[in-house]
Amino acid sequence: MLEIKYFTVNPLQENTYVLINEKKECIIIDPGFYYENERAEFLRFIQENGLKVVRLLNTHCHLDHIFGNALVAKTFGTGLEIHAKDQVVLDRSPQSGLMYNLPFEPSPMPKSYLKEGEKVVLGNDELEILFTPGHSPGSVSFYCARQGFVIAGDVLFKQSVGRSDFPGGNFETLARSIREQLYRLPDDTVVYPGHGPSTTIGFEKEHNPFVPEDPSTRFA
């Protein structure tokens, strides 16, 4: 069983996730630590709980989700894993940081690429990689069928969706990802988003005004 810990960090209030198994091994997803106190709190949490960081994953590579990639990689010797189609987003992230007046230590380059349909394995637990582009060209979500949750990045929020007006984004692609990948999960699946509170697939299918389950009812 995986324990899920999250930190809400940086000026954009991003959710960074730590998934921990019974052996105290953990996966870091989207480390967005920007301020020094956020970085210190995270490192203290890892140390005080005796955790071993074994993987570093990004759902996508917008700057607020990668501010802490270098910290995690350097501190724990963990290689970065992203989807290949988000490499272009990672490559231009230093320029994005300067554009938004949020300079940061550049992320390391990925050691390997995540592929849709494959599994991220942590001991006896596994996450299925779902390809969910539209917010960015290589956005992925991580689905744990055993425990009924999905780490969705900035694809789906509570009664909202991720922006699709960034370079490489597309609303129709985003809506298709949500309907064909996320809305096909069981209704009681808990959605842990990149920003804001958690929700469930069933709630969003019924109440999300941007991507209702039936496209004909959008903004009805």
Using alpha carbons, list the distances in angstroms from residue 3 to 18, 35, 59, 83, 181.
8, 25, 19, 24, 24
- Can you tell me the mean pLDDT for 188-205? 98
User: What pLDDT score was predicted for residue 220?
Assistant: 44
Domains defined along the chain, listed by start: 3-217 (3.60.15.10)
pLDDT value, residue 216: 61
Determine contact, residues 58/82, Cβ cutoff 8 Å.
Answer: yes
Q: How many other β-carbons are positioned within 10 Å of the β-carbon of residue 100?
A: 12
Backbone angles phi and psi of 38, in degrees to 5: -70, -45
Spatial distance between the Cα atoms of 84 and 215, rounded to a whole number of angstroms: 30
pTM of this structure: 0.96
Give the pLDDT mean for 23-50.
Answer: 98
**Using 50, 70 and 90 to split pLDDT, how confident is the model at 213?**
confident
